[in-house]
Amino acid sequence: MITFASVFSVRKMDKVCIGDKRFRLYIPQEKIAEKVGELARRMAADMSGKNPLFVVLLNGAFVFAADLLRAMDFPCEVEFMRVRSYDGTASTGSVEVIQDIRVDIQDRTVVLIEDIVDTGTTMHFLLQRLRERRPQSIKIAALLFKPESLRYDFAVDYAAFRIPRDFIVGYGLDYNEQGRNLKDIYVIDD
């Protein structure tokens, strides 16, 4: 169960409780909008004219992708892929593809849109899997990146925020499937 501290208030919630965990406000929606806008401008400068294929990783990246993609105004295509690697607040170390893309990516400029890169297990797995289909290039765009947790050697080409190793919810990211609809980003407060 998610408990909203001030459901009927327009004031920002400083704290939220989701299940057994407490979270505090970490990145307000105005700051998210500013950084996502900056990222969209950088990506547009690199990618307009290439008709990139954006692959949105469900579920977590749906809010970020909706804002990021609407901030770009050049021709592009959007597909969705569903993977799972997390259980509660810890990475399981194995990646499961629940829904793959069905389009041919050979010779395409592919951009993976991810909510957060933590250990890098998910991205490493997906890069290997998609490179076999011979795209022209694969880039990674992540809302959040935890560089101290990264265990693999690849570049996060576009990251809106670099953060420490703490557990995050909100703006698409969940704790046990709750909290995705929070407008702001929250960090665990235990």
184 belongs to the binding site for ligand 5GP (CB under 6 A): no
Minimum gap (Å) between residue 74 Cβ and ligand 5GP: 26
**Residue where the block lists tokens 């010779």:** 107
Contacts of 157 (CB under 8 A, 6+ apart): 139, 140, 141
Minimum gap (Å) between residue 73 Cβ and ligand 5GP: 27
118 included as an active-site residue: yes
Minimum gap (Å) between residue 158 Cβ and ligand 5GP: 15
Over the window 105 to 134, marking each residue x when it contacts ligand 5GP by CB under 6 A and - when it does not, the resulting string is: ---------xxxxxxxxx------------
The DSSP code sequence of the chain is -EEETTTT-SSPPSEEEETTEEEEEEE-HHHHHHHHHHHHHHHHHHHTTS--EEEEEETTTHHHHHHHHHT--S--EEEEEEEEEEETTEEEEEEEEEE---S--TT-EEEEEEEEESSSHHHHHHHHHHHTT--SEEEEEEEEE-GGG--S-----EEEEE--S--EEBTTB-BTTB-TT-SSEEEE--
Task: Report what 176 binds from Mg ion, ligand 5GP, none; CB cut-off 5-8 Å by kind.
Answer: none
Over the window 57 to 96, marking each residue x when it contacts ligand 5GP by CB under 6 A and - when it does not, the resulting string is: ---x------------------------xx----x-----
Stretch that binds Mg ion, among 25-33, 47-55, 107-115, 137-145 (CB under 5 A): 107-115
Figure out which of the listed residues 60, 120, 172, 179 binds Mg ion, where binding follows CB under 5 A: 60
Give the residues lining the site for ligand 5GP (CB under 6 A): 60, 85-86, 91, 114-122, 167-169, 173-175
Residues with catalytic function: 118
Give the residues lining the site for Mg ion (CB under 5 A): 60, 115
